[in-house]
């Protein structure tokens, strides 16, 4: 199974290497292979999850390792979809930033913080609501990752026309990720908590940080509503939102133990 993760890592690395020159090219010419390599990596990671699920007899989305693999797969698939779609301007920096994030997720998955042993989940985690909670949350966060790449590119760019494009991609990614994240992280999470613990909400550190992430993206959408011209504040808030999402996923598990501590 680790061979699939290694193959995916190599494909993402190769894709990043192919993409890098396009960041500095002035003619706007794009490579023809990088997004297909990312799709290949997404398929490898999806196969890994399916094989692991068959091995443990339950959808393999309950450990840190499995969640990081799913996150990397979601980002790769999203990058491919972004490249082949025709509605939004394609910006190489967004694809490259997301590719780096997918690499980072896989590197974390291979580190000691993510035990790799395939174990069937404890009774509390055997829930369909948990699966919806995890998948929707990570798909939402993959979109937030793309928004962050666009926001960082916005903050780094000096070209006004480019800035507008980055802002649009950032907004579109948050607009798509926000409903998915809200439903997954907060609503499906609350429904599962009610079933498992008898309480919709427990003010557990993980819940609080998921709420903070949601509040920050809510702030972003409202700021975007009120700004007459494109400026840096929404982009800064979008980056802050993703930092909150990262802390919710990883930081809380190790620094603020609570009901979600089994997620280590």
Subset of residues 20 to 79 that bind another protein, contact rule: CB under 8 A: 57
Q: Does 111 bind another protein (CB under 8 A)?
A: no
Pick the closer one to another protein by CB: 1 or 212. Answer: 212
Interacting residue with another protein among 1, 22, 131, 187 (CB under 8 A): 187
Name the residue among 89, 83, 74 with its Cα closest to residue 170.
89
Q: How far apart are CA 186 and CA 263, in angstroms?
A: 17
Q: Where are the alpha helices (DSSP H) in the chain?
A: 2-24, 34-56, 64-84, 92-109, 128-156, 160-181, 189-197, 205-226, 232-246, 252-255
Sign of CA dihedral 104, 105, 107, 111: positive
Least CB distance from residue 72 to another protein, whole Å? Answer: 25
Nearest to 123 by CA among 176, 196, 198: 196
| 162 forms part of the interface with another protein (CB under 8 A) | no
What count of other Cβ atoms lies within 10 Å of the Cβ of residue 5? 21
What's the closest the beta carbon of residue 19 comes to another protein, in angstroms? 23
Cβ neighbours, 10 Å, residue 64: 19
- Contact between 199 and another protein by CB under 8 A: the answer reads yes
Window of 33-41, 98-106, 115-123, 146-154 that interacts with another protein by CB under 8 A: 115-123
The Cβ-side half-sphere exposure at 133, using a 13 Å CA radius, reads: 20
Choices 26-34, 93-101, 124-132, 147-155 (CB under 8 A): range interacting with another protein: 124-132
Q: Which of 7, 18, 88, 132 binds another protein (CB under 8 A)?
A: 88
Residue 68 CA to residue 210 CA, distance in Å, equals 17
What CA–CA distance (Å, rounded) separates 46 from 31?
Answer: 25
Tell me whether residue 208 or residue 250 sits nearer to another protein (CB atom). 208
Terminal CA-CA length for the chain: 21
119 near another protein, judged by CB under 8 A: yes
From 13, 108, 219, 236, residue interacting with another protein (rule: CB under 8 A): 219
> If binding means CB under 8 A, how many residues of this protein chain bind another protein?
47
Whole-angstrom Cα distance, residue 127 to residue 61? 11
Answer yes or no whether residue 117 interacts with another protein by CB under 8 A: no
The least distance separating another protein from the CB of residue 12, rounded to whole angstroms, comes to 27
Angle between helices 232-246 and 160-181 in degrees, nearest 10:
40
- As measured in angstroms, the least distance from the Cβ of 148 to another protein is 17
Q: Would you tell me which residues interact with another protein (CB under 8 A)?
A: 57, 87-88, 119-120, 122-124, 126-127, 129, 168, 171-172, 175-176, 178-179, 182-183, 187, 190-192, 195-201, 203, 205, 208-209, 211-212, 215-216, 218-219, 222-223, 225-226, 244, 256
């Amino acid at each position: 199974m680790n061979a699939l993760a290694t193959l995916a890592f190599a494909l993402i690395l190769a894709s990043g290497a192919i993409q890098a020159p396009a960041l500095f090219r002035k003619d706007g010419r794009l490579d023809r292979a990088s997004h297909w390599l990312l799709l290949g990596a997404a398929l490898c990671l999806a196969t890994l999850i399916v094989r692991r699920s068959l091995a443990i007899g339950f959808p393999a989305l309950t450990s840190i390792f499995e969640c990081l693999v799913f996150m990397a797969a979601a980002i790769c698939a999203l990058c491919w979809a972004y490249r082949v779609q025709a509605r939004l301007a394609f910006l190489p920096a967004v694809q490259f930033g997301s590719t780096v994030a997918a690499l980072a997720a896989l590197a974390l998955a291979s580190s000691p913080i993510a035990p790799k042993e395939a174990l069937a989940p404890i009774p509390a985690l055997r829930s369909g609501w948990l699966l919806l909670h995890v998948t929707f949350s990570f798909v939402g966060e993959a979109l937030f990752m793309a928004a962050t790449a666009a926001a960082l590119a916005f903050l780094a760019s000096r070209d006004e026309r480019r800035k507008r494009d980055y802002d649009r991609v950032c907004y579109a990614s948050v607009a798509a990720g926000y409903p998915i994240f809200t439903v997954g992280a907060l609503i499906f999470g609350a429904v599962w908590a009610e079933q498992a613990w008898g309480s919709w909400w427990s003010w557990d550190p993980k819940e609080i940080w998921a709420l903070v992430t949601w509040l920050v993206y809510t702030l972003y959408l409202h700021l975007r509503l009120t700004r007459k011209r494109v400026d840096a504040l929404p982009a800064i808030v979008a980056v802050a939102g993703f930092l909150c999402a990262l802390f919710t996923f990883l930081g809380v598990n190790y620094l603020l133990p609570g009901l979600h501590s089994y997620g280590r």
